[in-house]
């Protein structure tokens, strides 16, 4: 299997329950819910995406012809230390490309593996930390995991629809865009009234890191 990767970078996990944890991010190219082209955004199933996942031209990106070479590229961004190795597979939609061979290759290099997905595909059991972020009325194929991180507010995705699913953590992440400030206030108010939900801020954005 070969893999199309937009970028690979080392940063702090900015979101969710692992917020603040050093991680290598591997951003796969392509998504099933948006082409990534601005002219298609309005008509896309997911139309608020904050990420450029088109092509393989980012820092550390490229086409990797086998699982071992991609795993080695991820290791290269971490460096020599073997403690606490943590890789976040994201995109785009990583489950369009992630396979057993790749997960084995990354695990063989002593990484814990976290995955960010829109939930429209089932997640392989080898993933160590599953983050599902549902999109509107798109059916969820993956209804269990470690954290459910809902962008809020979102049409057709009332938090109440998800709160009985088998996740350990339920997070509301304010929708970034022109209304970030009021969306943050709305997410805070929702959590205060529904304590099953906690706030997830995109801390990397205000820290000025990737």
Ligand X SMILES: C[S@@+](CC[C@H](N)C(=O)[O-])C[C@H]1O[C@@H](n2cnc3c(N)ncnc32)[C@H](O)[C@@H]1O
- Report what 34 binds from ligand SF4, ligand 2KA, ligand X, none; CB cut-off 5-8 Å by kind: ligand SF4
Catalytic residue among 7, 15, 46, 184: 46
117 interacts with, out of ligand X, ligand SF4, ligand 2KA, none, CB within 5 to 8 A per kind:
ligand X
Catalytic residue among 18, 28, 49, 146: 49
Q: Rounded CA gap, 197 and 79, in Å?
A: 36
Residue 194 near residue 175 (C-beta atoms within 8 A): no
Q: Which does 14 bind (CB under 5 to 8 A by kind): ligand 2KA, ligand SF4, ligand X, none?
A: ligand 2KA
Between CA 42 and CA 5 the distance in angstroms is: 25
Among 24, 90, 92, 145, binds ligand 2KA (CB under 6 A): 90
Cβ(152)–Cβ(172) under 8 Å? Answer: yes
Which positions from 20 to 39 touch ligand 2KA by CB under 6 A, shown as an x/- string? -----x--------------
CA atoms within 13 A on the CB side of 115: 25
Separation in Å, CA 63 to CA 1, 60, 129, 175, 205:
11, 10, 25, 31, 28
Q: Under the rule (CB under 6 A), what is the footprint of ligand X?
A: 31, 48-51, 90-91, 93, 116-118, 133, 149, 151, 173, 175-177
**Catalytic annotation, residues:** 25, 31, 46, 49-51, 116, 204
């Amino acid at each position: 299997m070969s893999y199309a990767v937009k970028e690979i970078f080392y940063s702090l996990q900015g979101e969710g329950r692992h917020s603040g944890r050093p991680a290598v991010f591997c951003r796969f190219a392509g998504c099933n819910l948006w082409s990534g082209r601005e002219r298609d955004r309005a008509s896309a199933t997911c139309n608020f995406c904050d990420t450029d996942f088109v092509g393989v031209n980012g820092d550390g990106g490229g086409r990797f012809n086998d699982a071992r070479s991609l795993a080695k590229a991820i290791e290269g961004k971490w460096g020599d230390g073997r403690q606490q190795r943590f890789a976040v597979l994201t995109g785009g939609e990583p489950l369009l490309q992630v396979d057993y061979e790749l997960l084995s290759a990354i695990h063989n290099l002593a990484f814990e593996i976290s995955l960010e997905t829109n939930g429209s595909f089932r997640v392989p059991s080898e993933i160590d930390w599953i983050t599902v972020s549902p999109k509107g009325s798109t059916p969820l194929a993956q209804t269990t995991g470690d954290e459910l991180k809902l962008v809020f507010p979102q049409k057709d995705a009332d938090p109440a629809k998800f709160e009985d699913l088998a996740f350990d953590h339920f997070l509301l992440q304010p929708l970034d865009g022109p209304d970030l400030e009021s969306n943050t206030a709305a997410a805070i108010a929702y959590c205060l009234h529904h304590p099953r939900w906690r706030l997830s801020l995109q801390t990397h954005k205000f820290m000025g890191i990737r």
